[in-house]
Structure 1
Amino acid sequence: MEDPLSIAVRFALYTDLMMLFGLALFGLYSLRGAERRSGAVLPFRPLLSATALIGLLLSVVSIVLMAKAMSGASEWLEAVPHAEMMVTQTELGTAWLIRMAALVGAAVTIAFNLRVPMASLLMVSLLGGVALATLAWTGHGAMDEGSRRFWHFSADILHLWSSGGWFGALVAFALMLRPNKVETLQSVQVLSRTLSGFERAGAVIVALIVLSGVVNYLFIVGPQVSGVVESTYGVLLLGKLALFGLMVGLASANRFVLSPAFERAVHRGEYARAARSIRYSMALELGAAVLVLGLIAWLGTLSPEMEAGM
């Protein structure tokens, strides 16, 4: 089994970069005008600044851990020269440098949110998307060559972006559904509008996740299921699919039952109870998403081919 610390760092990095990208993107397509200013609806500036800085720290730890594992070094300091060599002489190192530059740019750009909220969120979403895409170079696609490598990377990146879009939206709704945020009619109206508006975006996101996930499976395992479920990789993959199914079910309940009920309650001025129901559903969906990210981080360290041969 891969080092638990490496899996934990991968999980934290996936969660962090998806939040950076997805939350900024949510502010662009769901909020309007002054609502995009930090503090009006969501605390964009402190949250995205912290996320970018944490991403920088996690990226440093990640590259040293990879160098330590590849070199066989027993101490962290022994791995530093190997990490420097990886950064300067490998494609993975180039992707890492691009990620670091994108995260620095995001941290600087979000500082201007109060002055130019839309432009700052646009830049953070673009830079966050670049940083998130670099995680593909730590996955299975890096082992391919030629055109297969290109298409595998493309599917990986699309999967990362669509997953980040969903995760960021869940974080945004969790923040907007806090009890102290559903006390005024204005905040409740914004919440109702964004919940309704996310229906179309959510459907597109789910479709992209399914499409890119199927393509990734075909690249990694091939058009087969026999034998895969007997491996650790297969068990984790089944767990991921079960959690994804739960998330889709909860999202469907939100879309077709809870959101319409909340919208009707807002018109009647009785939104506290309806907000509570959506809050519980979103909490479950966000919890499932966190577990999925943990499984993704673990799956990225496993090879179904190697396990099949053991």
Structure 2
Amino acid sequence: MSDWVSIALRFGLYVDLMVLFGLGLFGLYSLAGRERVSGAVLPFRSILLVTATFGVLLSVASMLTMVSAMSGESEFTELRPHVQMMVFETDFGLAWSVRVVVLVMAGLMLMVNHRLPGASLLVASICGAIALASLAWSGHGAMDEGSRRYWHFAMDILHLLAAGAWLGALVAFALMAKINALKTAERIRLLARAVSRFEGVGAVIVVVITVTGVVNYLFIVGPKLDDLLLSTYGILLFIKVGLFAGMLVLAALNRFHLGPFLERSLREGKYEVAANALRRSMVVELTLAVLIVGLVAWLGTLSPEMEAAAQ
């Protein structure tokens, strides 16, 4: 049961912090001026405040769950010295502390979104990036040593940030493509512009995710497949790769067909069919992304080496 609680908390943290970073970043590169004010296009303040708050709560719950599992204690008074030791005497605790601090900073800055929309999104995305990067210290890279450890951390962080940028953009597109949000040609035009601006960002994201994913695989497993195919880790990894391939197909469909189709439909004044098709594609892509994050949360609790040794 504790393993599933740990996986659920990891999943919640991944999704939460990816949305905080990715949605804030989306507002910076896809929107301009007063479009960044919460409610003008997207409810930035409410969503990002919720993610910052839940990020703190999930971090606290994750720390208590992990310390309880390691110490065997369940009462808070008995857990307290173990928590203090973890927070003040380990690299994981330092990363955890930094995460909590930057999440509080992000929440405070979002309170002034209506007066400083661009600055609030910039600070929220930077804080979200730092918080998301801190999750690398609970991954496989923390088990490495020497220079290998730092290279593994670097790849983990780049992988997390790229994934966060993609998930945040998908959440933004799903919200912008809601039926009640596409009542005017102006809103359709704004969505088409956002899709167009994401093209370059999306290409960079795909390259970074692919390269860092391959490098991380080599760090964790090495250049071998025979034993991996029979392990839980290997099965989950191949499912993840298959879902990622599906996302790439949908991304290509959006980039080369549905996006241009929407722009042509706008010029012709009949955009309902194109908007609905793009909406369905975005929802499916977002669903695949959430499933992948769930698999990542599960994979982070598994060790290919231990599974191989047990067989």
TM-score interval w.r.t. the shorter chain?
Answer: over 0.9
- 3-state SS of paired residue (2:115): coil
Match of 2:233 in 1: 233
- 3-state SS of paired residue (1:309): helix
Q: Is 1:121 the equivalent of 2:82?
A: no
One-letter code of the match for 1:102?
V
- Distance in 2 (alpha carbons) for counterparts of 1:249 and 1:98: 37
One-letter code of the match for 1:149?
R
Distance change in 2, residues 1:142/1:192 (3 Å): same
Q: Is 1:294 the equivalent of 2:294?
A: yes
One-letter code of the match for 1:178?
K
Cα RMSD after superposing both structures: 1.2
Contact 1:64 1:80 in 2 (8 A): no
Match of 2:271 in 1: 271
Match of 2:79 in 1: 79
Q: 5+ unaligned residues in a row in structure 2: which ranges?
A: none
- Distance in 2 (alpha carbons) for counterparts of 1:147 and 1:231: 28
One-letter code of the match for 1:34?
R
**Cα deviation, residue 23, structure 1:** 0.2
Q: Is 1:245 the equivalent of 2:253?
A: no
One-letter code of the match for 1:236?
L
**Cα deviation, residue 76, structure 1:** 5.8
Task: State the TM-score, normalizing by the size of structure 1.
Answer: 0.98
Summarize deviations over 1:239-261 as a string: whole Å, max 9, x none.
10000000000111111111111
Summarize deviations over 1:58-112 as a string: whole Å, max 9, x none.
0000000110111122456643432222111111000000000010000001111
Contact 1:21 1:168 in 2 (8 A): yes
Percent identity, please. Answer: 57
Distance change in 2, residues 1:80/1:269 (3 Å): farther
- Distance in 2 (alpha carbons) for counterparts of 1:213 and 1:75: 39
Distance change in 2, residues 1:100/1:133 (3 Å): same
Q: Is 1:145 the equivalent of 2:148?
A: no
Match of 2:183 in 1: 183
Contact 1:67 1:80 in 2 (8 A): no
- Distance in 2 (alpha carbons) for counterparts of 1:245 and 1:83: 41
Matches for 1:11-26 after TM superposition, within 5 Å: 11-26=11-26
One-letter code of the match for 1:189?
R
- 3-state SS of paired residue (2:302): coil
Distance change in 2, residues 1:224/1:73 (3 Å): same
One-letter code of the match for 2:279?
R
Match of 2:283 in 1: 283
- Distance in 2 (alpha carbons) for counterparts of 1:280 and 1:77: 50
- 3-state SS of paired residue (2:111): helix
Contact 1:26 1:169 in 2 (8 A): yes
Q: 5+ unaligned residues in a row in structure 1: which ranges?
A: none
- In the alignment of these two chains, the number of paired residues is 310
Summarize deviations over 1:20-62 as a string: whole Å, max 9, x none.
0000000001111111111111000111011100100000000
Match of 1:10 in 2: 10
Contact 2:2 2:69 in 1 (8 A): no
- Distance in 2 (alpha carbons) for counterparts of 1:68 and 1:206: 38
- 3-state SS of paired residue (1:84): helix
One-letter code of the match for 2:175?
L
Contact 2:99 2:130 in 1 (8 A): yes
- Distance in 2 (alpha carbons) for counterparts of 1:8 and 1:133: 19
61-70 or 82-91, larger mean C-alpha shift: 82-91
- Distance in 2 (alpha carbons) for counterparts of 1:140 and 1:234: 15
